[in-house]
Structure 1
Amino acid sequence: MAKPRILIVDDESDLRHLMKTALMKEGFSEIETADSVQDGWEKFESFSPNIAILDIMLPDGEGYDLCKRIREVSHIPILFLSAKSDEMDKILGLAIGGDDYITKPFSPKEVAFRVKAQLRRAGYYETEMPSQSKKITVGPFSMNESETEVTKHGEPLELTAKEIGLMACFMHNPNQILSKETLFERVWGEDFLGADNTLMVHIRRLREKIEEFPSKPAYLTTVKGLGYKFIAK
């Protein structure tokens, strides 16, 4: 398998260098950097990264703008970097298609570990199991685990890495109540610690893609006070 390609977009040259160095120490070698929205978009088009790390505040716009452009053509994992710690900024980043949000200051090694986690969840790394296609089917939904692709009635759904992770949890546990804590720990790989808004944003966006009437979900239902249940029909 080819080495994953990483795009870093940040206007601080020292920070770009620190992150690139940390990622290279973790075994990543295909890394491109950019210092603006326009430069980042041009690098994205020419480099075709498998994951992008975007600063929020850039000289010619915001990382949110670049994320929106990327999401029009790609579903690669996107990590946001920001000096802002406000909860609403985090929710906005996740709502427009981000998969993770890291607040400055941070350890470059932490970024490297989060990059690895996102690539793993996106199905980039091979698992330790023998390579074979194992299909899971629940109602009209099917998931090919080796490709991390979810279909509904045979038609591919355009899901982000986090949304695929959530679908994997639900499809492995149909008709069972999964708590918010369980879902967050399995998909984000972190303790829940009150990250209710983050999970709610992703659940809402997932419903918009899998439900005919997202406001009245038939498949992904809320069990008040307990969590969520995926109904197999």
Structure 2
Amino acid sequence: MTGKVIPFNPLDKKNLGASVAEALLSKEAHPLSDLPVFEGAGIYAIYYTGDFSAYQPISRLNSDGKFLLPIYVGKAVPAGARMGANQELAAGKVLHKRLKEHAESIKAAENLNIEDFHCRFLVVDDIWIPLGESLIIARFTPVWNSLIDGFGNHNPGKGRHAGMRPRWDVLHPGRAWALSLAERPETAAQIAQDAETYLRVLPACLSAQFIEAEGE
């Protein structure tokens, strides 16, 4: 008995999102310290190649220009997008600005070197940004998106430093505003050990291919 073959539908929501994810991962990787200036909103992936002990499985996969496993994946949407603002609103340089903010966080860290970071970025229509980002995070489970939170955090502002210091800032101290937050019960060594354990089991699939025709 022959099973039913479902035709591939390129306009299916998941396939449209997958095409965005694939497009990002086909882009050239740029040094995070030397980004070209560009306009637009979109998604990005940051890659690590340095010698921080806990991240060695990531560095090996990203060596020799392969860039197979991002350490962090994120998005930048136009101002007002979360509130349903005018869809024709110009995005400006929001994606470029977000990547520059990440570069400044890394430069501030005492035990990271900006020269060890590269990134891929994709300018894309607003509607596909969240779906493309979520698919890439689900595929690669980047350690800074999951286990070690806080890399993408902003300074909470004057009078709002009541929260706990993010794990990222405990492991990678240096951002001045994070020092105003409450100390965590965990030490940097404990968080590094968690990262080593987490990275012993790498994603089952490191392929940049997301779209598979049904029935293949």
Fold agreement, TM-score > 0.5:
no
In the superposition, the TM-score normalised over structure 2's length comes to 0.29
Higher percent of residues as strand: 1
In the superposition, the TM-score normalised over structure 1's length comes to 0.28
**Bigger Rg over Cα:** 2
Q: Tell which has more relative contact order, 1 or 2 (C-alpha 8 A, sep 6+).
A: 2
